[in-house]
Amino acid sequence: MLYYIFKYLDKSGISGAGVFNYITFRAALAGILSLLIALWAGKGIIHWLQKKQIGETIRNLGLEGQMQKKGTPTMGGIIIILAIIVPTLLLAKLNNIYVILMIISTIWMGTIGAIDDYIKVFKKDKEGMKAGTKLIGQLMLGVIIAVAIDYTHNINHIPLETNLPISKLKFSYTDLLPGEGNAWLVFVPVIIFICMAVTNAVNLTDGIDGLAAGTTAIVGTGLGILAYATGNIKVSQYLNIIYVPNSGEVVVFLAAVIGACLGFLWYNGYPAQVFMGDTGSMALGGAIAAVSIIIKMELLLPILCGIFFAESFSVILQVGYFKYTKKRFGEGKRIFLMSPLHHHYQKKLIPESKITLRFWLITVMLVLATFALIKLR
């Protein structure tokens, strides 16, 4: 909204109003504003959650300090969503299809997560929303993103392809299903899978204080740099990555994500005063998935979001191996002491804050490794 006001002022000859034409300026402003909103609104929202007795239900899993968290306010993802959406509406170009997709993705998945949290808290159902219903919601978002991007790329004559790590070659979806107009038959299922995988991976990572919020802030910084490169024709040509016109506007949204996560960490850092719940983790997962697809970096996600995928893969391995050994030997065995992965290290009696810090450091290294792979191309 402010962008259009200052654009009008710039045309009217008002000195300094033209600074709003720069994505970097608006992104910096969005980051600061989202941080301040999270800090300002956080205290009031936490008080409201406490008043409504919207507290976390804790299952005793034998983890050190776990039961002390019982009753800690959850659904704090409301703080994150508010701190993302408000700066985006104020500072981004609202006629940009990619910005619209980012807002839809965040609110869509945040709403599903909020319903899940509501069922857990008020219906006293620890399982929350049925897994099938949750997956349908994620599937629908994947379809919306895939169809919107496919349509937009057709208009702008952008091929359905994506960047590969290391190799200068681009991966084209038409290679999997040759024939004019057939690429979307592969593209849509792949996008749906990515949306589901990333959303659930972030959701699983949100298990100890500050882990999901801090990791998302780091990943968001990496995606923001990649989004700027993708939306800048000179930088994209230099790096030999796919240029996506108008995608640079996503940087403003990502700056708001980073600021929101950092502001939320003020209250979510160990010992946490509030948990983001599925409301926040699913909203952040949906946002990360949508951004990576928009800027053609979806195949780099296993590296960039390595911690998220390690957490998710540890659960898949644990469950799969347990079922396999139970069927073959009559007794289920485990690979990890407990999954997701952060609980394995908790079982090893490593302090929660140390696990979080180490996972953050690994994420920083993975983001830098992603940049290195892009440059090596």
Region 183-209 average pLDDT = 91
pLDDT at 66: 60
Q: Name the residue with higher pLDDT: 21 or 255.
A: 255
Least confident of 150-154, 187-191, 224-228: 150-154
Q: How many domains does the chain have?
A: 1
Region 31-60 average pLDDT = 86
| Residue 181 DSSP label | T
In-domain check, residue 254: yes
| Residue 64 pLDDT exceeds 70 | no
Least confident of 46-60, 222-236, 315-329, 355-369: 46-60
| Residue 355 pLDDT exceeds 80 | yes
Region 315-331 average pLDDT = 92
| Residue 60 pLDDT exceeds 70 | no
At 129, the pLDDT band (50, 70, 90 cuts) reads confident
pLDDT at 223: 97
In percent, the amount of the chain with pLDDT more than 70 equals 91
Domain limits at 259?
Answer: 25-57+68-302
Region 348-369 average pLDDT = 96
pLDDT at 335: 94
pLDDT at 126: 73
Least confident of 53-62, 342-351, 364-373: 53-62
Q: Name the residue with higher pLDDT: 121 or 182.
A: 121
In-domain check, residue 324: no
At 357, the pLDDT band (50, 70, 90 cuts) reads very high
| Residue 10 pLDDT exceeds 60 | no
pLDDT at 70: 73
In percent, the amount of the chain with pLDDT more than 90 equals 65
pLDDT at 172: 83
Least confident of 156-160, 236-240, 324-328: 156-160
pLDDT tens-digit series, residues 67-104: 667 778 889 999 999 999 999 999 999 999 999 999 99
pLDDT at 376: 76
In-domain check, residue 337: no
In-domain check, residue 9: no
Q: Name the residue with higher pLDDT: 54 or 253.
A: 253
pLDDT at 120: 86
At 18, the pLDDT band (50, 70, 90 cuts) reads confident
Residue type for position 107? I
| Residue 360 pLDDT exceeds 90 | yes
In-domain check, residue 336: no
Region 17-26 average pLDDT = 83
Region 107-111 average pLDDT = 96
At 377, the pLDDT band (50, 70, 90 cuts) reads low
At 181, the pLDDT band (50, 70, 90 cuts) reads low
